Structure 1
Amino acid sequence: MKILIVGLGSMGKRRIRNLKKLGNFGILGYDPQKIRRDESFKKYKIETFDNIDHAISQHPNAIIISTPPDLHLKYALLAIKNNIDFFMELNHSSSHVKQIIKKIKGKKIIAAPSCTMRYHPIVSELEKLLKKKKIGKIFEIHHYNGQNLKSWHPWENYKNFFVSKKETGGAKELVPFELNWLFYLFSKIISVSSSVQKVSNLDVDIDDIYQIHANFKNGIIGNFIFDVISEPSFRETRLIGEKGVILCDFKKGTIQVNTGKKWNIKKLDTGKVASGYLGNTPPENIYEKEMKNFLLAVKRKQKYPFSLEQDLQILNVLDAIELSSKKGKKVVITEKN
């Protein structure tokens, strides 16, 4: 099986590691930057290309699009044109996803948007507790993810990659990344009231904090904060239910449950974070699980668990969050948002 990775930056290299861990694949890499091609060849001994058409001419069975988010559409359309199954890292643009859905209609191509956090051990354990109705009906969700932008890629200047651009800023990136698993465990969000702004002295023109009050379809109230200014970093969730409270600490790998008497604490083995990363970087094993599911879908052994249409629902909420902040009022999410 031959896999082409488009984009050999941080995520592209992570996908190379994932594939090498998962099996014996023919891994090809494309990147316009020579330094990244050379790094990938030196570290992983893969064949690299400086011309995307030349790379496509090698007839890969699938393409992994690990470019900055604003370039996903370009390479997704190229994959569709060549009838090649493809995976995309986290999308930011509802407009781009709509175009991909339109272009892929009627074709038997696997199009797999990223859903990384669904595979996190904390999310899996939380799903079990919810199915057991451990704290009964859920009334509120409070979730906070904060990590200073300077610690995302400690080896490079934060101003030199996509998290420093207005349309693909770091705080914006956190919103769909976290909403993905929240949608999965609870339900769709139907309305939001939000504040999106810059409050720090980061030397980039991006919004660095998203504060969101959300109403879920099943009646749950959500309060979320996503920022790129917090140091140290946090990723924590608090669920308030009719019978008690659940506290999740993604960094410590703990889930605490209190049903009125005492705290029961469970420590999970969440796996190792790749060398060189700081802050809230998720463990490598959840990326491996995501890639394994994509490869099984490419082999037509199982259906990929997250669709373009589901991805669009989340991005519609992201659009509504930004619109709510701009207009200063609550926004109801519809298919047209």
Structure 2
Amino acid sequence: MGLKKMKVAVIGLGSMGKRRIRLLKHFDKNIEIIGIDSKKSRIEEIVEKFGIKCFTQLSEINDVIDCAFVCTSPQFHGDIIHDCLEKNCNVFSEINLLDYRYEENIFLAQEKGKVLFLSSTPIYKAEMQYIDKRIKTEDGKHVYSYHVGQYLPDWHPWDNLNEFFISKKETNGCRELLAIELPWIQNTFGKIVNIRTIKRKITSLDIDFPDVYLIHIEHENGNVGSLLVDIVSRQATRLLEIIGENTYIKWSGTPDSLYQKNIQTGEIQNIDMGEYFHEQGYDESINEFAYLTEIQEFFSVISGGKAKYGFSEDKEIISWIDQIEM
């Protein structure tokens, strides 16, 4: 089926739903997009902003829906994905944080012959792809130090924090950061075989979970790393350093901040990472191009391509996150 004939439902019209609608329109203006959200205020905003049809639930739509983008809070994903597959939709899911109904939905997608695609945006970033290639083609072991953090109330200042899933223990902000970062870390540095964790709560935030995790990671191939994840840092931070006998790489979270050392000349070189576009209101490290790239990948998989990451791999990552939080 050509994309021009596709009807796509975006379920959940919060910040990620808006992003997916905006990028779907950028990707192909001929795709018919339908919005779904239980909140009337969100529907009104989307109708005004994008001029698309909206409904309060999937069951209200009688037309055939080719694809569904599941952009609600993660605790609802399992049931919504199941409903979409039952309706014979190919499914694009934002990160889940929980493995609820994973095996059931994997089986149902196979039974229905539908694509079940999982977002893992860093894997589609040009910077991570460059680092991945360097690490996998160079001899020797590597050590990395990676800090990812941002003060929790600064994530979405426009939202009520108490109503935002990142403030809930089961789907907390640190858990979300781990679910974002661990897939590309394992993909690039090798299968994770051991994790040791120190965790603390150091803020006065009204939350019932740690706000800082210091994690030491061992990989099957001998690579090792330290990962600092927090919801404390008043400056949104992504800071990565990688060392090896013939390697020095540094990245500060933006496409223009990737550097490597030329071992022969001793020169620190900036690596051009190409296309970048930024949506106002988000931190400068948020490159919309990577989100667009994984949408392109989703439609490529529908056409017969192979996904870089999926629910089976994510089940293992969620198991590691559960261990980190213990």
- The TM-score, its normalising length taken from structure 1, stands at 0.88
Q: Which has the higher contact order (CA 8 A, sep 6+)?
A: 1
Q: Distance in 2 between matches of 1:99 and 1:70?
A: 16
Equivalent residues in 2 for 1:321-332 (5 A)? 321-323=324-326
Larger mean CA deviation between 112-121 and 259-268 belongs to 259-268
* 1:246-300 Cα shifts (integer Å, max 9, x gaps): 11121363222233834223353461221112364x21111111111112222x2
Residues 8 and 66 of structure 1 are in contact (CA less than 8 Å); yes or no, is this contact kept in structure 2?
Answer: yes
Q: Distance in 2 between matches of 1:197 and 1:270?
A: 38
Give the deviation of 1:308 after TM superposition.
1.4
Q: How many pairs does the alignment contain?
A: 318
Q: Distance in 2 between matches of 1:107 and 1:242?
A: 49
Equivalent residues in 2 for 1:185-224 (5 A)? 185-224=188-227
Match for 2:86 among 65, 71, 81?
Answer: 81
* 1:306-329 Cα shifts (integer Å, max 9, x gaps): 221111121121122123xxxxxx
Match for 1:30 among 24, 33, 36?
Answer: 36
Equivalent residues in 2 for 1:20-59 (5 A)? 20-23=25-28, 24-55=30-61, 57-59=62-64
Residues 2 and 25 of structure 1 are in contact (CA less than 8 Å); yes or no, is this contact kept in structure 2?
Answer: yes
Q: Distance in 2 between matches of 1:262 and 1:303?
A: 38
Give the deviation of 1:159 after TM superposition.
2.5
Following TM superposition, the consecutive aligned residue runs of length 4 or more in structure 1 with deviations greater than 6 angstroms are none
3-state SS of paired residue (1:40): helix
- The TM-score, its normalising length taken from structure 2, stands at 0.91
Larger mean CA deviation between 20-29 and 304-313 belongs to 304-313
3-state SS of paired residue (1:253): coil
Give the deviation of 1:146 after TM superposition.
1.0
Residues 127 and 255 of structure 2 are in contact (CA less than 8 Å); yes or no, is this contact kept in structure 1?
Answer: no
Larger mean CA deviation between 150-159 and 215-224 belongs to 150-159
Residues 241 and 250 of structure 2 are in contact (CA less than 8 Å); yes or no, is this contact kept in structure 1?
Answer: yes
Larger mean CA deviation between 178-187 and 221-230 belongs to 178-187
Cα separation, partners in 2 of 1:270 and 1:254, compared to 1, 3 Å: farther
Q: One-letter code of the match for 1:119?
A: Y
Q: Distance in 2 between matches of 1:266 and 1:87?
A: 31
Match for 2:290 among 286, 289, 312?
Answer: 286
In the alignment, what sits opposite 1:153?
156
Give the deviation of 1:68 after TM superposition.
0.5
Cα separation, partners in 2 of 1:217 and 1:107, compared to 1, 3 Å: farther
Q: One-letter code of the match for 1:197?
A: R
Residues 154 and 276 of structure 1 are in contact (CA less than 8 Å); yes or no, is this contact kept in structure 2?
Answer: no
Larger mean CA deviation between 44-53 and 265-274 belongs to 265-274
Residues 66 and 88 of structure 2 are in contact (CA less than 8 Å); yes or no, is this contact kept in structure 1?
Answer: no
* 1:180-230 Cα shifts (integer Å, max 9, x gaps): 111221212111111233221123333322221111111111210111110
Equivalent residues in 2 for 1:178-189 (5 A)? 178-189=181-192
Q: One-letter code of the match for 1:307?
A: G
Q: Distance in 2 between matches of 1:171 and 1:220?
A: 24
Question: Percent of counterpart pairs with the same letter?
Answer: 29
Q: Distance in 2 between matches of 1:186 and 1:9?
A: 34
Larger mean CA deviation between 100-109 and 170-179 belongs to 100-109
Q: Distance in 2 between matches of 1:163 and 1:58?
A: 34
Larger mean CA deviation between 136-145 and 257-266 belongs to 257-266
User: Does residue 277 of structure 1 match 2:282?
Assistant: yes
Residues 253 and 270 of structure 1 are in contact (CA less than 8 Å); yes or no, is this contact kept in structure 2?
Answer: no
Q: Distance in 2 between matches of 1:71 and 1:218?
A: 36
3-state SS of paired residue (1:106): helix
| Aligned-residue CA RMSD (Å) | 1.9
Residues 155 and 276 of structure 1 are in contact (CA less than 8 Å); yes or no, is this contact kept in structure 2?
Answer: no
Q: One-letter code of the match for 2:7?
A: K
User: Does residue 297 of structure 1 match 2:301?
Assistant: yes
Unmatched 5+ residue regions in structure 1? Answer: 324-337
Residues 151 and 233 of structure 2 are in contact (CA less than 8 Å); yes or no, is this contact kept in structure 1?
Answer: yes
Unmatched 5+ residue regions in structure 2? Answer: 1-5
Give the deviation of 1:131 after TM superposition.
4.5
Cα separation, partners in 2 of 1:177 and 1:186, compared to 1, 3 Å: same
3-state SS of paired residue (2:271): strand
Q: Distance in 1 between matches of 2:153 and 2:135?
A: 36
3-state SS of paired residue (2:144): strand
